[in-house]
């Protein structure tokens, strides 16, 4: 009877250890490489406490688009509000894309320095310049959280490229791509249109002697 008891305890202990190992293996799968193989990566910067700027880049590494919005979860608190004070909107815009970089305005506005459109409680203000366009979207209501919520800055003469993942940029991935050789199809992104371009090489045959 004692031997059977020891056997039962031993089997239970082994089953518990196996479950723990499976749990650890599952948790360790959430690495940056694993996530990058499933999802597109974005570059985000906290330009003010609780305010994030997400950037996209052109082929030459220069920024081509910026999106500014509030971050809801911070170490200090969870803030469900989305409004950014208008004085800060102007401050951030002048800081990220100064007047000298924008170029001259491409149109004259009836009031202020932007064209405003209001529909269904949503206000869309757009300013157009030689080099960039600036759009500010917000809400208009009686609630205390109404105001500017999203700022979008786009550079006209820079074409954004598709985001790259860690897996595709890693040296291991590069070596694997080299092993594939040039005999297989290659794909690139057209910077002008953003369309995917696929190049398929023609098969060649050696002349027989």
Confidence at 173, pLDDT banded by 50, 70, 90:
very low
Give the pLDDT of residue 74. Answer: 79
181 and 110 in a common domain: no
33 or 192, which is more confident: 33
Supply φ then ψ for residue 156, to 5 degrees: -70, -35
Q: Tokens 């031997």 belong to which residue? A: 3
Residue 110 within a domain: yes
118 and 68 in a common domain: yes
* pLDDT one-digit tens code per residue, 138-157: 988 776 667 899 999 999 99
Residue 192 within a domain: yes
170 and 151 in a common domain: no
62 and 146 in a common domain: yes
What's the whole-number average pLDDT of the chain?
Answer: 75
Give the pLDDT of residue 64. Answer: 96
170 and 90 in a common domain: no
Residue 31 within a domain: no
Domain that holds residue 175: 166-199
Query: pTM for this one?
Result: 0.61
Residue 77 within a domain: yes
* pLDDT one-digit tens code per residue, 46-93: 999 999 999 999 999 999 999 999 998 878 888 888 899 989 999 999
126 and 89 in a common domain: yes
95 and 50 in a common domain: yes
Identify which of 65, 46, 47 has the alpha carbon closest to the alpha carbon of residue 55.
Answer: 65
DSSP string, the chain: -HHHHHHHHHHHHHHHHHHHHHHHHHHHT-SHHHHHTTS---EEEEEETTEEEEEEEBTTS-EEEEEEEE-SB-SS-B-----B-HHHHHHHHHHHS-HHHH-SBSS--SSTTSEEEEETTEEEEEEEBSSEEEEEEEE-SSSTT-EEEEEEEEETT--B-----HHHHSHHHHHHHHHH-TTS-EEEE-TTT--EEEE-PPP--PPP-
């Amino acid at each position: 009877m004692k031997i059977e008891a020891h056997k039962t305890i031993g089997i239970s202990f082994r089953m518990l250890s196996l479950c723990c190992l499976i749990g650890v293996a599952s948790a360790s799968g959430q690495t940056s490489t694993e996530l990058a193989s499933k999802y597109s990566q974005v570059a985000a910067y906290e330009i003010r406490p609780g305010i994030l700027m997400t950037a996209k880049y052109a082929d030459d590494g220069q920024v081509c688009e910026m999106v500014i919005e509030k971050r809801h979860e911070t170490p200090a608190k969870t803030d469900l509000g989305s409004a950014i004070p208008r004085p800060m909107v102007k401050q951030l815009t002048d800081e990220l894309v100064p007047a000298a970089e924008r170029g001259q305005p491409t149109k004259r506005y009836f009031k202020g320095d932007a064209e405003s459109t209001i529909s269904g409680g949503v206000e869309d203000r757009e300013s157009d310049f030689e080099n960039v366009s600036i759009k500010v979207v917000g809400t208009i209501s009686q609630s205390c959280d109404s105001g500017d919520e999203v700022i979008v800055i786009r550079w006209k003469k820079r074409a954004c490229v598709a985001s790259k993942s860690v897996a595709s940029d890693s040296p291991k991935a590069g070596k694997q791509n080299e092993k594939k050789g040039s005999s297989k199809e290659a794909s690139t992104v057209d910077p002008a249109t953003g369309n995917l371009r696929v190049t398929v090489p023609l098969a060649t045959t050696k002349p027989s002697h």
